[in-house]
């Protein structure tokens, strides 16, 4: 979790340049704020979202 919606976009911009990370769901606005999902090199899904 990150402090703000802008931080979600900043993390996405940083991580999306990494070729070992697969973007499962690009950034979008949900009821709890901005979010996206990536898959790390080990296959784990990671959701980034603002602190609730």
Q: Are 39 and 48 in contact (CB under 8 A)?
A: no
What predicted TM-score, i.e. pTM, was given to this entire model? 0.91
More reliable by pLDDT, 34 or 17: 34
CA–CA dist 14, 16 (Å, integer) = 6
Average pLDDT of the residues in 9-35: 95
| Residue-number span of the structural domain to which 28 is assigned | 5-48
The pLDDT of residue 33 is 96
- Determine the 3-state secondary structure of 3 from DSSP: coil
Mean pLDDT value across the chain? 95
Number of domains in the chain: 1
In the block, which residue shows the tokens 């703000």? 4
Whole-number pLDDT of residue 52? 82
């Amino acid at each position: 979790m990150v402090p703000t919606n802008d931080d979600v976009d900043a993390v996405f911009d940083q991580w999306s340049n990494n070729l070992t990370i697969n973007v499962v769901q690009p950034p979008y606005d949900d009821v709890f704020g901005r979010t996206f999902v990536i898959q790390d090199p080990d296959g784990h899904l990671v959701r980034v979202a603002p602190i609730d």
